[in-house]
Amino acid sequence: MEIRIEKAQNLKVKPDESALGFGRHFTDHMFLMDYDIDKGWYDPRIVPYGPIALDPSSTVFHYGAEIFEGMKAYRRADGQVQFFRPMDNFKRLQDSAERLCLPIVDPDFMLEAMKALVKVDEDWVPHKEGTSLYIRPFIFGADPFLGVHTVHHSLLVIILSPVGSYYKEGINPVRIMVEDEDVRAVRGGTGYAKCGGNYAASLRAGKKAEEKGYSQVLWLDGVERKYIEEVGAMNVMFKINGTVVTPALLGSVLPGITRRSCIQLLKDWGVPVEERQLSVDELKEAIANGTLEEAFGCGTAAVVSPIGELNIEGKPYEIAGNKIGPLTQKLYDTLTGIQWGKIADPYGWIVPLHD
């Protein structure tokens, strides 16, 4: 499929790279492609960034038929732009589409579309240390029809947002509250899919934690409220007595690419990793007997986010002296080193924008 390009007439003034924040600025262009059940995907195009007109009866507004991805383009010191494991994102987009009965897009075409868009807006990939261009592909149902049905019309959109360094003043550990009422996802539901609905369901607990002075919640499983699943919108890892334990992917946990990368690095460093169920009771015991050495969330936005305090059943527990642990720091340095091209990538994770 040929991607049509319609360039913007007036280019925006680019924001100050030292105050980008997250998801507040958008580039000059966006990628759009339509889907019709009879025609398949058609009319891939890069057009000026702007509002999209939709019929008020569109599926996405009523039944939440929406999936997305989150990834970044990084500018190296030599000026070249590169991506980190982009095909993993596009394969996950396929899995999410399958779960929500949205149309699947070929990962190879997604890569082509994303590269074409980033090339048009290449000047928007920021240069300042720690900054990047956040890439947000999303697909939603757009049938002008209120009946509940799998969608016949969809739209794929890719938008780009220059984002600031996640950590401006060094990596500060965060305070986390264990959520024992609301759940994010259940096995058999949509937890493993990256869909907007999961986020909608998680907002109330996030708000409650924030009101109590915590930055995120630690999610428990939806059946027994006993096993740890994720932290906020990140996967979570605990170093207990020399072994890194992370919740197994049993359907309700999002299969993070940062998680997968951390596991690979840890194994190569000879650190034992266990993907299994981990109960809050086991965690409490590890805190009590001093074997919980480090705890951190991991995801594209923050890379790793150390947990400095855990509130369990209303009681605060300090973790790792409220500091980033040495293994968490090593994972952060290695992953960011590979992503920004400061250290060699022995894994084939990096895909350059220009061949």
Ligand X SMILES: *Cc1c(COP(=O)(O)O)cnc(C)c1O
For the CB of residue 85, give the shortest distance to ligand X in the complex, in Å: 8
Closer to ligand X by Cβ: residue 230 or 294: 230
Strand, helix or coil at 145? Answer: coil
φ/ψ (deg, to 5) at 266: -60, -45
For the CB of residue 205, give the shortest distance to ligand X in the complex, in Å: 13
Closer to ligand X by Cβ: residue 46 or 178: 178
Per-residue mark of binding to ligand X, 292-331 (x: CB under 6 A):
-------xx-------------------------------
Binding status of residue 70 toward ligand X by CB under 6 A: yes
Return the residue of 194, 205, 306, 311 that touches ligand X, per CB under 6 A: 194
Query: Which among 93, 98, 95, 92 has a CA at the least distance from the CA of 150?
Result: 98
Query: Which among 56, 71, 76 has a CA at the least distance from the CA of 258?
Result: 71
d(CA 163, CA 161): 6
Stretch that binds ligand X, among 120-128, 163-171, 226-234, 237-245 (CB under 6 A): 226-234
Using an 8 Å Cβ cutoff, are 166 and 301 in contact? yes
Site size toward ligand X (CB under 6 A) is 13
User: Which H or E run includes 265?
Assistant: helix 257-268
Query: Which among 316, 213, 303 has a CA at the least distance from the CA of 258?
Result: 303
Using an 8 Å Cβ cutoff, are 90 and 19 in contact? no
Query: Which among 8, 12, 14 has a CA at the least distance from the CA of 125?
Result: 14
Q: Which amino acid is at 17?
A: E
For the CB of residue 70, give the shortest distance to ligand X in the complex, in Å: 5
For the CB of residue 268, give the shortest distance to ligand X in the complex, in Å: 18
Query: Which among 154, 219, 170, 211 has a CA at the least distance from the CA of 191?
Result: 219
Closer to ligand X by Cβ: residue 26 or 192: 192
Per-residue mark of binding to ligand X, 248-287 (x: CB under 6 A):
------x-xxxx----------------------------
Closer to ligand X by Cβ: residue 15 or 64: 64
Per-residue mark of binding to ligand X, 228-247 (x: CB under 6 A):
--x--xxx------------
Closer to ligand X by Cβ: residue 44 or 256: 256
Residue 321 vs residues 174, 236, 292, 295, 318: alpha-carbon distances, Å: 12, 18, 11, 11, 6
For the CB of residue 31, give the shortest distance to ligand X in the complex, in Å: 20
For the CB of residue 89, give the shortest distance to ligand X in the complex, in Å: 7
For the CB of residue 291, give the shortest distance to ligand X in the complex, in Å: 26
Residue 128 vs residues 17, 21, 90, 121, 194: alpha-carbon distances, Å: 6, 13, 27, 17, 29
For the CB of residue 315, give the shortest distance to ligand X in the complex, in Å: 26
Judged by the rule CB under 6 A, the positions of this chain that interact with ligand X are 70, 194, 230, 233-235, 254, 256-259, 299-300
